[in-house]
Amino acid sequence: MNSSGLIYDASALQYGAWGVSGSLISALGLLGNVLSIIVLSDHRFRSSTSVYLICLAVVDMLVLVSMLLCFSLPAISNYTDQLDFYNSEIFPRMNPYAYPLALTAQTCSVFITVAFTIERYIVVCKPLKANKLCTVKRARRYAILVILISLIYNVPRWFEFKLSDTNDNNTTVQMLTALGDNQLYNYIYKVYMYTIIIVIGPFLFLLCLNAALVRTLHRANRNMQQSKHSAQEHNITVVIIIVVGTFLVCQLPSIPDNICGAIYSSAEVRESPNLIRLHTLSNLMVISNSAVNFFLYAVFGKKFRRVFRLKLNFCFGIPIKNQQHTDFTTIPMINTNNGAV
């Protein structure tokens, strides 16, 4: 296959994956994350895990918006030539800022997922420590800490690009800075550190924690007579396991994608159809992961589903026939406030 044919095939592939599918998934995901925030902000969900899940919904929205701006719209423009103005005028000015923001939001999303999985592990496997460690106040502090760590870790990303005006047609283009063009920086920070800290490390850690939660849940299922509290905790664990399991599946293509980035040069990646497909799939799965959580909560979280239905009824003026909605038998999050604000 010649070079022009490969470029066209890559453009068509990314148009379908990022431009069409990615845009649709992002739109649904943005709506879903807004609805998640509305439901989880309800007073019935005043809990430590709801703090993490609200924070996750916010950063996932940032990821989706960034992916739309940095991947979906350019993919549409490259294939259809319908958004030339965006690619030539808007994208070069925006990308030096949207790109580091997207990576910061993605880092935050990964670390928040790790945080609430650790919390669920403590509640399920170390219950005597849960009342002290799993509080709303601590969750807020940890969420702020995660955001700060994500911001600090991605500070170098803000210095990889610069804007430059061309002399021929007075257009603005983005160019690599000395830092962004530094080979040592690219290999150590952008490839190896990113692969270990953001991709493989959290993946393996969450895989182990999720396996421990599944084993504990399996043992608990042997006891058929469960108290109301046990049933609540059971449902929480199921939801968290499914959310984390979905995260692991969506992150799986990123592992070989980043490993290939460490082995092959950018030119070699652009010339390999298989590596292009892998990279395209990897980013599409990142988009999907940031869009899917609302649907997981609605399908598997019984209390989430009931509160969501109540809010829909209220918005559309539908009378609530059953007034026993204040007693929910199962909830998709931890309720260990311990007097925390």
- Residue 252 structure tokens: 């799986």
Residue 108 in any domain: the answer is: yes
Structural domain tally of the chain? 1
Nearest to 245 by CA among 200, 195, 296: 296
Calculate mean pLDDT across residues 176-190: 88
Q: What mean pLDDT value characterizes the chain?
A: 85
Mean pLDDT throughout 33-46? 92
| Dist. CA 315–CA 140, nearest whole Å | 29
Amino acid 64: pLDDT: 97
| 241-268 average pLDDT score | 88
161 close to 176: Cβ distance less than 8 angstroms: yes
Tokens of 133: 């460690």
Classify each residue of 292-310 as buried b or exposed e, where b means 16 or more C-beta atoms within 10 Å of its C-beta.
bbbebbbebbbbbbbbbeb
Residue-level length of the chain: 341
Alpha helices, DSSP H only, in 252-272? 254-263, 266-270
pLDDT of residue 327: 35
Whether 72 maps to a domain, the answer reads yes
pLDDT value of position 83: 80
The Cα–Cα gap between 39 and 335 comes to: 15
- Asked if residue 66 belongs to a domain, the reply is yes
Coil, helix or strand at residue 210: helix
Residues 44 and 326: their CA atoms lie apart, in Å, by: 9
Q: 189 to each of 114, 193, 221, 232, 307, how far by Cα in Å?
A: 21, 5, 45, 43, 44
Tell me: pLDDT of 233 over 80.
Answer: no
In a domain, 96, yes or no: yes
Rounded to an integer, the average pLDDT of 244-255 is 94
Question: How far is it, in rounded angstroms, from Cα 264 to Cα 258?
Answer: 10
Average pLDDT score over residue span 157-168: 81
Question: Domain with 311 in it: what CATH number?
Answer: 1.20.1070.10
What is the per-residue pLDDT for 317?
73
What pLDDT is recorded for position 270? Answer: 77
The pLDDT score that the predictor gives to residue 320 is: 65
Q: Is residue 338 part of a domain?
A: no
pLDDT at 128: 87
With bands split at pLDDT 50, 70 and 90, how would you rate the model's confidence at 223? low
Instruction: Let me know if 167 is exposed, middle or buried by CB neighbors in 10 A (0-12, 13-18, 19+).
Output: exposed
In a domain, 111, yes or no: yes
Give the DSSP H/E element, type plus range, for residue 221: helix 201-221
Q: Tens of pLDDT along 255-312? A: 898 888 777 777 777 788 889 999 999 999 999 999 999 999 999 998 899 999 999 8
Task: Kindly calculate the radius of gyration of the chain based on its CA atoms and give it in whole angstroms.
Answer: 22
- 114 domain-assigned: yes
For the segment 63-87, the average pLDDT, to the nearest whole number, is 90
Query: Does a structural domain hold residue 333?
Result: no
Phi-psi sector, 335: left (phi>0), alpha (psi -120 to 50), beta: beta
The mean per-residue pLDDT over the stretch 157-171 comes to: 78
**CB atoms closer than 10 angstroms to residue 188:** 12
Q: What percent of the chain has pLDDT over 90?
A: 53
Confidence of residue 66 (pLDDT cuts 50, 70, 90): very high
Contact assessment for residue 297 and residue 45, using Cβ atoms and an 8 Å cutoff: no
Asked whether residue 331 carries a pLDDT value surpassing 90, the answer given is no
Q: Which domain holds residue 307?
A: 3-326
